[in-house]
Amino acid sequence: MEGIWVLAEHTAGQLRRITLELLGKGRALADARGSRLVALVLGHGVEPLAGPLAEHGADGVLLADHPSLASYGVEAYTHVMSRAIHEHRPWAVLVPSTANGRDLAPRVAARLGAGIVTDVEDLWVEGEQLVARRPMYTRKAVGTVAFVGDGPRIAVMLPKVFPPADRQEGRRAEVRRLEVNLETVPVRTRVVERREVRRERVSLVEAEIVVSGGRGLRGPENFALLEELAAELGAAVGSSRPPVDSGWVPHDYEIGQTGKTVSPTVYIAVGISGAPQHLAGMSGSKYIIAINKDPNAPIFQVASLGVVGDLFEIVPRLVAAVRRLRARA
């Protein structure tokens, strides 16, 4: 199955939102080239995903179903995906820019000698060329990159940039199973333990609103203020690196160069100075609201709205204001 491929990420038997976003973009590219859109699924017991993939625009579904693929493992996934691309020669492969996608795509590209562009926030066809746009240097510049040559083109796509594909009920796709043989694959790592972080909170990467706290919060107990604001707004809570390093919040709160990349509609930065390494993870947000007592804090240079003042006064007033508005609505 040639054409445009989307690596379909899924969790707990459901397609992730980013998969639907990539199917939407993939569909547009496939239509532009007059080719097929194919979803590649790796996992175990993944056949039920074929229906939703077809309904969201896939013309073909390739299933690599094997017990050893039940959870992400770098060697097995790299092997299976590289072989599939090598055998079927897709024109382009769209990979989600998630923890797994970012780990997997460069390995596959290196193994196949394929071109790869990461952090893609737009992708289009110009004649026979695939062209990508990507932010660079912590979003101080935007690069336009064209794939050269005729090998497979791998684009690692940022989340929450493309709208999810619409569902067309009853739409069907050709479903094929890939032969998976992992006997010759040297497995150098294995999952020793899996701990689910179960929190009753909105996913940071998928949230429309993110409330994020920095060192200015002074201690773990003060994150309760942000949780309260987030609960009123239906937002997710994140943080800069110091609160993580100090053990105030779990590691998966961290946003930035060494943390998550988020691009919500609204990002509220509370007691965060705006270091380049933090901006790298959030400057793609549509509106940035900064609360900081230092009028010269660099965060104000990227903020759509800046509030200079003490967060311990401002955040409770903000919570009260949102409550009042919600009560009126």
Q: Three-state SS for 96?
A: strand
The CA distance from 83 to 8, in Å, is 16
CB of 213 to ligand FAD, least distance (A): 8
Residues that bind ligand FAD (CB under 6 A): 214-216, 240-242, 254, 256-259, 271-273, 275, 277-278, 281, 291-294, 297, 310-312
Choice between 97 and 273, CB closer to ligand FAD? 273
Choice between 144 and 296, CB closer to ligand FAD? 296
Q: How far is CA 148 from CA 120, 132, 311, in A?
A: 16, 12, 50
Find, among 127, 132, 101, the residue nearest to 117 by Cα: 132
CB of 73 to ligand FAD, least distance (A): 26
CB of 120 to ligand FAD, least distance (A): 20
Q: Identify the H or E element spanning 292.
A: strand 287-292
Choice between 80 and 230, CB closer to ligand FAD? 230
The CA distance from 131 to 124, in Å, is 5
CB of 268 to ligand FAD, least distance (A): 12
Choice between 82 and 240, CB closer to ligand FAD? 240
CB of 140 to ligand FAD, least distance (A): 16
**Amino acid at residue number 159:** P
Q: Report the relative pairing of strands 305-308 and 287-292 from DSSP bridges.
A: parallel
Q: Three-state SS for 116?
A: strand
Choice between 115 and 281, CB closer to ligand FAD? 281
The CA distance from 94 to 57, in Å, is 14
